[in-house]
Amino acid sequence: MHTFPPLVAGNWKMNGTLASLAEVDALMEKLSGVDPACDVMICPPFTLIHPMARTLGDSRIALGGQDCHWEVSGAHTGDIAAEMIADLGGAAVIVGHSERRTDHGETDEIVRKKAAAAHRAGLVAIICIGETIDERKAGRTLEVLSTQIAGSLPEGCDAANTIIAYEPVWAIGTGLTPTTDEVAEAHAHIRKELAAKVGGEDEASRVRILYGGSVKPNNAKELMGVENVNGALVGGASLKADDFFGIISAYL
Ligand code: PEP
């Protein structure tokens, strides 16, 4: 049965202009002489997907979107369909990032529809889940993760079309990270809960579960070494080639 390599994915959020493609050139240069044991992806703002695809050419770096609408087309001003991301050569789309859940009031139901749209368009859905600091302090982390998995994953998820990103909300962009024991506990729980969603434990064992939240070059190796961690979703540190390469280097 096919096993999927770990994935290090960069989420550029609302950062980057055409000038930022220089960082992609620099990253390609750094990757040219090495062969890390992971897939690499960048999810730039929509405005950069097409120019970045041209910069990347046939490089090993894949492209993804940061969000999509659940419809194929229509009267949804400012939104982007999953099919549009696929049209530009995107391979995946992030859905349910906590910033979208907070800034745009996205519920598990909306996230589920978006993930289903990603699958419809042939994209891998990178589905983000994670607890707030209040939920963690109240001892509710695992319960929150269970609820989000039950609500955010559509029918038809499998290890080929779905990646889970565990992103404690309080760790995103803060420089704070959970302990390795806390990461291990969350990832083991997610793996267990996935079985019911992907048709059993065997399939669940192959689903990639990324850790996200203040991953930096100096903590990547430790975090990526935790059991059931199959890569990273990286925000701030993905913007600079040096930092992103430093994180990818956890797999060298
Ligand atoms: C993210 O936004 O997905 C993220 C993990 O951000 P950061 O790495 O900056 O904490």
Q: Which of 99, 106, 131, 167 is catalytic?
A: 167
Q: Is residue 232 very low, low, confident or very high in pLDDT (cuts 50, 70, 90)? A: very high
Residue with tokens 């029918």: 155
- Is residue 143 in some structural domain? yes
Task: Determine if ligand 1 sits within 6 Å of the CB of residue 172.
Answer: yes
Tens digit of pLDDT for each residue in 45-72?
A: 999 999 999 999 999 999 999 999 999 9
Is residue 118 assigned to a domain? yes
The 10s digit of each residue's pLDDT in 90-106 is 999 999 999 999 999 99
- Say what the pLDDT of residue 142 is: 98
Is position 167 annotated as part of the catalytic site?
Answer: yes
Tell me if 197 is assigned to some domain: yes
Mind listing the pLDDT tens digit for each residue in 16-39? 999 999 999 999 999 999 999 999
| 146 located within any domain | yes
Average pLDDT, the chain: 98
Q: How far apart (Å, rounded) are the C-alpha atoms in residues 93 and 76?
A: 18
193 lines ligand 1 (CB under 6 A): no
pLDDT tier for residue 2 given thresholds of 50, 70 and 90: confident
The rounded Å distance from CA 198 to ligand 1 centre is: 26
Task: Mark whether 29 is an active-site residue.
Answer: no
Domain of 134, in residue numbers: 7-251
Ordered DSSP codes for the chain: ---PPPEEEEE--S---GGGHHHHHHHHHHHHT---SSEEEEE--HHHHHHHHHHHTT-SEEEEES--BSSSSSS-TT--BHHHHHHTT--EEEE--HHHHHHS---HHHHHHHHHHHHHTTPEEEEEE---HHHHHTT-HHHHHHHHHHHHPPTT--TTTEEEEE--GGGTTTS----HHHHHHHHHHHHHHHHHHHTSHHHHHHSEEEEESS--TTTHHHHHTSTT--EEEESGGGSSHHHHHHHHGGG-
Examine residue 103 and state whether it is found in any structural domain, yes or no.
yes
Residue 1 covered by a domain? no
Question: Within a domain: residue 2?
Answer: no
Domain contains 186: yes
Please enumerate in sequence order all residues whose Cβ is within 8 A of that of 155, keeping only pairs 6 or more positions apart, or say none: 116
Residue nearest to atom 4 of ligand 1 (CA): 235
Which of 23, 69, 83, 97 is the catalytic position? Answer: 97
108 CB less than 6 Å from ligand 1?
A: no
User: Probe ligand 1: pick from 15, 233, 248, max atoms within 8 Å of CB?
Assistant: 233
Structural domain count of the chain: 1
Atom of ligand 1 nearest to the CA of 216: 8
Q: What is the CATH number of the domain that holds 145?
A: 3.20.20.70
pTM of the model: 0.98
